[in-house]
Chain A
Amino acid sequence: MKRLLQLLPAFACVLYCLPALAQQTVTGRITDDKNAPLQGVNVVQQNTTNGTSTASDGSFSLLLLSGSPSNLEISMVGFTKQTVPYQGSALSITLVPSSGSLEEVVVVGYGTQRKSTLTGAVSSVKGTELAKTQAIDIGTALQGQAAGVNVTSPTGAPGTNAVVRIRGIGSLNNNEPLYVIDGIQVNSGLTTISPNDIESLEILKDASAAAIYGARASNGVILVTTKSGKAGKNTITVDASLGLANAMGLPKMVSTSQFIELQNEAFANDGSTNRNNDNAANLPNTDWLDVLFRQAITQRYSLAFAGGTDKTRYFISGNYVNQDGTIEYSNFKRYGLRSNVTSDVKSWLRIGENLNFTYESNQYIGASGDGGRPGALPGVVRYALIRPNAIPVYDPATGLLTDLPPAGLYQNSNLYGDGKNPLAIAQYRNRTADRYRILGNVFAEIRPIKDIRLRTSLGVDFNILEQQAYNGQIPGDRTIMNPNDKGVDKYRHRQSALTWTNTANYNHVFNGVHDISVLAGTEYVKEITDYLSGFRSGFDTRTDDNPSLQFLDYGTGTQGVGGTKQESALMSYFGRIGYAYDNRYLLSATLRADQSSRFSKANRTGYFPSASVGWNIMRESFMKDIGMFSELKLRGSWGKLGNQQIGNYPFATIYSTNNGVLTVATQGNPDVKWEETEQTDIGLDGAMMSGRIRFSIDWYKRNSSDILIQLPVSYTNGDAAPPYVNGAAMTNKGWDISVNYNKQTQSGFSWDLTANVTTLSNKVTSLYKTKDQLISAGNGQILLKPGEAIGSFYGYTTAGIFQNAAEVTNYVNKDGDLYQPVAKPGDVRFADINGDGVIDDKDRGIIGHGLPELLYSLNATVRYKQFDLTLFFNGVTGNDIYNEVDNIINSFDSRGFNTKLDFYDTRWHGDGTSTTTPRATFLDGNNNRRTSDRYVEDGSYLRLRNAMIGYNLSSKMMGRAGFTQARIYASVQNLFTITGYKGFDPELYTNDNLANYGDLGVGIDMGTYPPSRTITFGVQLSF
């Protein structure tokens, strides 16, 4: 029926066009509104496939088919389409760019929307901006690009995911936003997506935008649209860059002679007659940080083919990244291949596919935390920090890497600690994790009648994760392993996530003013992870230095296998209705019903509604005379979102038969239900000075309730993991402000400045049974307490240093009792906070906050003729860091560990020598090192994240070389950081020790893989 209709004009043509049978060639030139020639414009004879595209000077020539209308359809992305009648003479056509940014189309959940009709808070980031950052993963690339989004690169290790938090922290569990890549839900492995492959990112921040994703949306949603081909332009693009990275922020440690001096001072302070009588001049003075760190090279290459015709578009690309870490033996490699094709096979049917193959290999070392968490690798950075300079890298007797201090060098080697050689750990205890991934979808879209679009899409995210590790003899190590102590561990996890989405869209404008859109859809998501692992012991000495023998098969000792499966499924129904009156008054409402396998039958279904309104004020007649604004829109939204990112079976009590005994592994709770977040948002978007200034301001409030908590329970009830309980509530509120200024001058200068400011205020409003919870990471402690923000540090408050014996004896309560009877001059004075006359654990309180209150960024680009310069700053303020690693290296550690020069310079060593840092002591009867505000520091920083200068070859030169675009650039990442923080890096998140506790450990620094200053040179060519 439809095809019949399409045939009719052709018949009409046959009837009416007969006189024009003679063939004609039409020529012309197409320019933009500034009279610059446009290359690659599609010129197609109406109702035919007969077409061409313009050359670099904007000219075209087309032989018209007889029997068809001689009208030409002129189109190009970013410009308004025109239909031009050919009347015999050469054509001169001016294309007008599609109007300003409010007419941009924005990707929203299950569709797109004109930006002018948007009522939700959505931030869009262009792929080009992401690529500029030189980041390897999209999370890091997103840093500072959008208001309301807090991105932290928790470590400088290659291949680590950045931490992305949208509008604060609403859960005690998983706070990762939902990532939807080309319509497919993705839970992990964002490092596999190259920022170069991204067309745009949309961040759905408020409930009205995100609620269409219902149960998974409470942490916000990030929609990733990858690049695709464009009709009429066949391009080849080559990118290559080389980066040189050096670790930054490394602390200075004491020399061997200062180390010995401190120890002897400590013996004297303790009243001991022992001394370290070694002569520093005869001992090594090894800079362990220097030994461990290196200059590292990052190489990146990508090649892309893109193009297509009106009906079929394609994009094929490949990329390769090889990033060495600044710590020896750490490396990240990624090989990626992408292709997508869409084709309008019929006028009513469009089909397409989008496939992404990646292989990723990450050789990593333990670098965050102290290796205290089960399964964590020993932290080499911590080992480098604690190892005294007096220990040589290689044992002079054997030539092997040292382990314990070589006994022959010292009068008493016990004084130099028992830490491991970080280089040996990095070399012999690294791991390689491989990930093979297929991510993609196929879809079909049908337009059975005008205004209705039906779409079905089947997406898959298929991963194989593999790791194999050999635990063998470290040459020179204190422990001699016999064959049965050595072993190979291997695991292979197979994860698949299938997303099947069906949507129906209806869109119609009635009477020219009533714009109605309706979306209805269903979605089924199934995730399966299949685990398989094996180990074997019994490896001979040959195996230790022969990687080709480090396989399960070569072992002769005991062996074991393991395997299980985890599954979850989500069945959803959703809909959205939008109404716009005259583009002036906007209404939108969504509803999603989710059924999740993660909850028991009674609690399985959750409903997540949202409603929003918008008012395009500039379309009101009374605003006509007010010339200040060119665009102004007020938005408001409310909605309810869910979070189901917890274990798969929280309802079931699970028993373990590991170790040949039956124990309760996890307590279940059949009453567990969704976490819910209600979010309110009020926003104002506008443009001033004919679009030169654009701004967007949002105020938001998120109330999260029924938060699932599974916190450390008392060991008095045994070892089983406690059940999840819907117990806590939290509030996040703040402002997102984004302002852009852009200007072009006649002289060829153009400016583009974007500033983002985000404020954040987080508060835990209630807890299960109103019981405060305390979580420890090393010496650092976090208190979770109603009325306080998440990440509140807990500990004693110090009140200076006792300068002399009189100060100790004068520190008494009202009854005259000594507050600190065992204290000696040089010890820390602690405050009696509750005033009960004793200093005990009741005097602990909140001594700092790990979450920042304000985040800001400035992205400035200046172009002049062929040159461009980009400066990108970001910063945070209002947060503290608990410098846990300073509890060892800045406190004089009795274990014979190394000390920061800072301690040497600032320590108490006599009346009046220090009011901040206590004396050196082996015994520390006063417990100077207890958790206290001594280790809390201001975590604010401002960082020049990226400075880039680029040069674009002029079109003349390019024409000669056959390029359409050629650019060379140089950039420096992390050129400088302004901070008062004395640890490695103020930019940190939680630590490896608390990896199981979500965001609770935010701000505790246990020593991380430091960030690096990287200089990158690159070239981009298109032809």
Chain B
Amino acid sequence: MKKLFYIITAAMLITACSKKLDLQPQGVLTEENVFKQPGDFTLAVDAAYEPLTNRFRGNWEWDNGASIPRDFVVGDLMSDDAVKGGGGLGDQEDMRRMETFTIFPTNNNVLGIWRYNFKGVNAANIVLAQDGSSIPGLDANVWKRMKGEMLFLRAFYYFRLVQNYGGVPLLIPEKNMTDNTVRATAEQVYTQIREDLDNAAAMLEPSYDAANYQRATKGAAYALKAKTFLYQEQWQSCLDEITKVEALGYDLLPKFADNFNGAGEQGAEKIFVARHDPGQTPQKGSIFNAVFGRQGYGWNFNLPTDNLVAEFETGDPRLSATVFKSGDTWFDGTAYNPANSITGFNARKFLSNSSPSDDGGIDFIYIRFADVLLWKAECLTQLNKLPEARAALERVRARARSNAANPATALPAVTANVQADLLAAIRHERRVELAFEWHRYYDLVRWKIAQTVLAQKPDADPLTGHNDYGTGYKPANAILPIPQREVDLIGLQQNLGYQ
């Protein structure tokens, strides 16, 4: 009896041990089995694109910079084009602090822009650390394209970082640069960006099939490189890259509005876009119908100012493609009610009638050919080649004119033959052509006119958003503060004026 008990116990114990303790994670990939199939590479490459899309950012951690993309807060809200809007004066208080220039390093928009661009950098680095050439089934040309895409995206994210923060830590594992605690200089970041873009351009194709149209192309690499020169005021170098872009056959869409309503998706004007497909599981649509949609339909953020609306010339057809105003019809067929917006306007570009509202299908455009033509006009003007500059400008205006109700009178060709006048005309053109494409604030800073345009205004009215730049732009606001979280965690040096 006793013996039997001991035997049974001992037997059961022996079977119980060792092997039963080898438990591995279930239903997920681990380093044991990841990056063994071509599909893993495809998904990891897609992961590097994700931070530039306008998909819902995984969770509602507003304070940690998640929830929605924040780039419009700088590009549009901090400029004279738009005011915050939303549910009330204080809905998203940190956005209001941005647009009124009471910007503290703890601002969650500052953190969000930092976080998602670095997320992109790291996602690209993960793929670049793999060796795809030894994976059965992964085509050598595809692997080459993937590496090119990753180099392009790393450059893309670093450009946005250097635009927003100045010098940032450079994480380039293949050069053993992995220390995240040291800020490189802005010049070093630009140098790395151009090196990555040169390598990328050599690996990328000029275009892809319909299933892959969103991937970085040779043209995107040239265009982005041109933009880096534009921001560093190296006009001729910028023009050299633009020449390479033009050689690839980009063109303006016949209809301006088709860039933003879905009709011109994959059209010849698009150089680099964030792709959004509605109705997918998991969701791949854009959240902007929810963020910018009118009150009742969305959250009513990013409202156009009367100042922007006034910038449009009489008869400019681009106005109705850019803003909703009294007398317009909302996507669902109901009359647009200006009373629901403190400015009387709502933003229109990239919005559609999606269901659910956070699953919009319109691609967001990062670089389009009209933007490049205006760079070209600007560079040529700076180099005092005014006739060529006018020609580039005219291409953009001509397309708009052709869309006008009365092309005979609308948008006459610019005839300015003094450098400063032509520059002013180009600046005007950029504002109306590219409103709500996140360029305006960066342009104002780049042109060094932010201080005059965005000064504290005596007639400011925070209740309508009219001229409400709070305490006004200060030179330190040319770049954002380094997020306090990163200063505290890794000891990064704070930008001047934000200590």
Name A's B-contacting residues (CB within 8 A). Answer: 272, 274, 371-375, 404-405, 407, 412-418, 446, 448, 454, 456, 478-480, 482-485, 500, 502, 522, 524, 526, 537, 558-560, 563-569, 571, 595-597, 601, 604, 648-649, 652-665, 668, 712-720, 772-774, 776, 778, 822, 838, 840-841, 893-897, 922-925, 927, 930
Residues of chain A with a CB closer than 8 A to B55's CB: 659
A955 to chain B, nearest CB (A): 49
A281 to chain B, nearest CB (A): 22
With A and B bound together, what is the CA distance between A722 and B96 in angstroms?
33
B91 adjacent to chain A (CB < 8 Å): yes
Residues of chain B in range 387-445 having any CB-CB distance to chain A below 8 Å: none
Name the residue on A nearest B102 (C-beta): A925
Given A446-B5, A659-B283, A922-B89, 6 more pairs with CB closer than 8 A: A657-B29, A668-B31, A715-B119, A717-B180, A718-B123, A894-B93
Q: Are B43 and A713 in contact (CB under 8 A)?
A: no
Instruction: Decide: A526 near B88, CB < 8 A? Known: A478-B295, A715-B114, A924-B102.
Output: no
Instruction: Decide: A922 near B462, CB < 8 A? Known: A416-B88, A418-B90, A480-B296.
Output: yes
Binding-face segment, B17-25, B230-238, B321-329, B374-382: B17-25
Instruction: Decide: A654 near B25, CB < 8 A? Known: A482-B356, A660-B282, A661-B46.
Output: yes
Name the residue on B nearest A418 (C-beta): B87
Q: Are A274 and B463 in contact (CB under 8 A)?
A: yes
Residue among B43, B44, B87, B106 with most chain A CB within 10 A: B87
Name the residue on A nearest B51 (C-beta): A719
With A and B bound together, what is the CA distance between A456 and B17 in angstroms?
17
With A and B bound together, what is the CA distance between A483 and B13 in angstroms?
57
Binding-face segment, B56-64, B142-150, B248-256: B56-64
Task: Mark B115-150 against chain A: 1 for CB-CB distance below 8 A, else 0.
Answer: 100110111001000000000000000000000000
Q: What are 18 A-B pairs at a CB distance below 8 A? A: A374-B59, A418-B90, A478-B295, A483-B355, A524-B20, A558-B281, A559-B281, A649-B24, A661-B44, A663-B123, A715-B114, A716-B169, A716-B180, A774-B485, A895-B90, A897-B90, A922-B89, A927-B104
Residues of chain B with a CB closer than 8 A to A502's CB: 9, 13
With A and B bound together, what is the CA distance between A604 and B122 in angstroms?
32
Residues of chain A with a CB closer than 8 A to B484's CB: 841
Interface residue from B89, B123, B299 paired with A415 (Cβ < 8 Å) = B89
Instruction: Decide: A715 near B89, CB < 8 A? Known: A272-B462, A565-B26.
Output: no
Residues of chain B with a CB closer than 8 A to A717's CB: 118, 122, 171, 180
Q: Are A715 and B111 in contact (CB under 8 A)?
A: yes
Q: Are B5 and A454 in contact (CB under 8 A)?
A: yes
With A and B bound together, what is the CA distance between A945 and B494 in angstroms?
50
Q: Are A774 and B90 in contact (CB under 8 A)?
A: no
Instruction: Decide: A595 near B43, CB < 8 A? Known: A478-B87, A668-B30, A924-B102.
Output: no
Q: Are A822 and B16 in contact (CB under 8 A)?
A: no
Name the residue on B nearest A404 (C-beta): B87
Residues of chain B with a CB closer than 8 A to A715's CB: 65, 111, 114-115, 118-119, 483, 485-486
A1001 to chain B, nearest CB (A): 14
B401 to chain A, nearest CB (A): 38
Q: Are A896 and B296 in contact (CB under 8 A)?
A: no
Residues of chain B with a CB closer than 8 A to A838's CB: 499
Instruction: Decide: A714 near B490, CB < 8 A? Known: A897-B90, A923-B470.
Output: yes
Residues of chain A with a CB closer than 8 A to B485's CB: 712, 714-715, 774, 776
With A and B bound together, what is the CA distance between A658 and B357 in angstroms?
21
Residues of chain B with a CB closer than 8 A to A897's CB: 90
Q: Are B63 and A663 in contact (CB under 8 A)?
A: no
Q: Are A479 and B296 in contact (CB under 8 A)?
A: yes
Interface residue from A565, A571, A653 paired with B27 (Cβ < 8 Å) = A565
Interface residue from A416, A604, A655 paired with B28 (Cβ < 8 Å) = A655
Residues of chain B in range 448-492 having any CB-CB distance to chain A below 8 Å: 460-463, 470-471, 483-490, 492
B206 adjacent to chain A (CB < 8 Å): no
Name the residue on A nearest B55 (C-beta): A659
Q: Are A569 and B28 in contact (CB under 8 A)?
A: no
B101 to chain A, nearest CB (A): 9
Residues of chain A with a CB closer than 8 A to B490's CB: 714, 716
Q: Are A652 and B24 in contact (CB under 8 A)?
A: yes
B202 adjacent to chain A (CB < 8 Å): no
B284 adjacent to chain A (CB < 8 Å): yes
B61 to chain A, nearest CB (A): 6
B213 adjacent to chain A (CB < 8 Å): no
B71 to chain A, nearest CB (A): 16
A441 to chain B, nearest CB (A): 16
A484 to chain B, nearest CB (A): 4
Instruction: Decide: A718 near B93, CB < 8 A? Known: A483-B355, A661-B47.
Output: no
Residues of chain B with a CB closer than 8 A to A719's CB: 115, 119, 122
B198 adjacent to chain A (CB < 8 Å): no
Interface residue from B18, B47, B471 paired with A663 (Cβ < 8 Å) = B47
With A and B bound together, what is the CA distance between A654 and B25 in angstroms?
8
B40 to chain A, nearest CB (A): 6
Number of B residues whose C-beta is below 8 Å from A?
A: 96
Residues of chain A with a CB closer than 8 A to B114's CB: 715-716
Residues of chain B with a CB closer than 8 A to A566's CB: 26
With A and B bound together, what is the CA distance between A207 and B456 in angstroms?
66
Q: Are A662 and B295 in contact (CB under 8 A)?
A: no
Q: Are B342 and A414 in contact (CB under 8 A)?
A: yes
A149 to chain B, nearest CB (A): 33
Instruction: Decide: A274 near B462, CB < 8 A? Known: A373-B61, A502-B9, A661-B46.
Output: yes
With A and B bound together, what is the CA distance between A20 and B281 in angstroms?
91
Q: Are A569 and B1 in contact (CB under 8 A)?
A: no
Task: Mark B268-309 against chain A: 1 for CB-CB distance below 8 A, else 0.
Answer: 000000000001111110000000000111110000000000
Residues of chain B in range 70-119 having any CB-CB distance to chain A below 8 Å: 86-91, 93, 96, 100, 102, 104-106, 111, 114-115, 118-119
With A and B bound together, what is the CA distance between A753 and B216 in angstroms?
78
Q: Are B282 and A774 in contact (CB under 8 A)?
A: no
Residues of chain A with a CB closer than 8 A to B470's CB: 923
Q: Are A654 and B28 in contact (CB under 8 A)?
A: yes
Q: Are B43 and A660 in contact (CB under 8 A)?
A: yes
B2 adjacent to chain A (CB < 8 Å): yes
With A and B bound together, what is the CA distance between A840 and B463 in angstroms?
32
Residues of chain A with a CB closer than 8 A to B86's CB: 418
With A and B bound together, what is the CA distance between A553 and B90 in angstroms?
40
Q: Are B296 and A522 in contact (CB under 8 A)?
A: no
Residues of chain B with a CB closer than 8 A to A924's CB: 102
Q: Are A596 and B21 in contact (CB under 8 A)?
A: yes
Name the residue on B nearest A526 (C-beta): B20
With A and B bound together, what is the CA distance between A500 and B20 in angstroms?
14
B335 adjacent to chain A (CB < 8 Å): no
Q: Are B30 and A652 in contact (CB under 8 A)?
A: yes
Instruction: Decide: A662 near B118, CB < 8 A? Known: A414-B342, A484-B355.
Output: no
B34 adjacent to chain A (CB < 8 Å): yes
Residues of chain A with a CB closer than 8 A to B168's CB: 716
Name the residue on A nearest B47 (C-beta): A661
Q: Are B61 and A415 in contact (CB under 8 A)?
A: no
Q: Are B17 and A595 in contact (CB under 8 A)?
A: yes
With A and B bound together, what is the CA distance between A924 and B126 in angstroms?
43
Interface residue from B25, B106, B119, B492 paired with A718 (Cβ < 8 Å) = B119
B50 adjacent to chain A (CB < 8 Å): yes
Instruction: Decide: A657 near B43, CB < 8 A? Known: A274-B463, A418-B91, A897-B90.
Output: yes
Interface residue from A417, A655, A773 paired with B30 (Cβ < 8 Å) = A655
With A and B bound together, what is the CA distance between A930 and B499 in angstroms?
13
With A and B bound together, what is the CA distance between A655 and B123 in angstroms?
12
Pairs A-B, 6 closest by C-beta atoms: A895-B90, A418-B87, A718-B122, A374-B59, A564-B27, A662-B43
B110 to chain A, nearest CB (A): 11
Q: Are B119 and A417 in contact (CB under 8 A)?
A: no
Q: Are A597 and B23 in contact (CB under 8 A)?
A: yes
Interface residue from B2, B30, B171, B295 paired with A448 (Cβ < 8 Å) = B2
Q: Are A648 and B23 in contact (CB under 8 A)?
A: yes
Instruction: Decide: A841 near B499, CB < 8 A? Known: A597-B21, A712-B489, A716-B118.
Output: yes
Name the residue on A nearest B487 (C-beta): A841
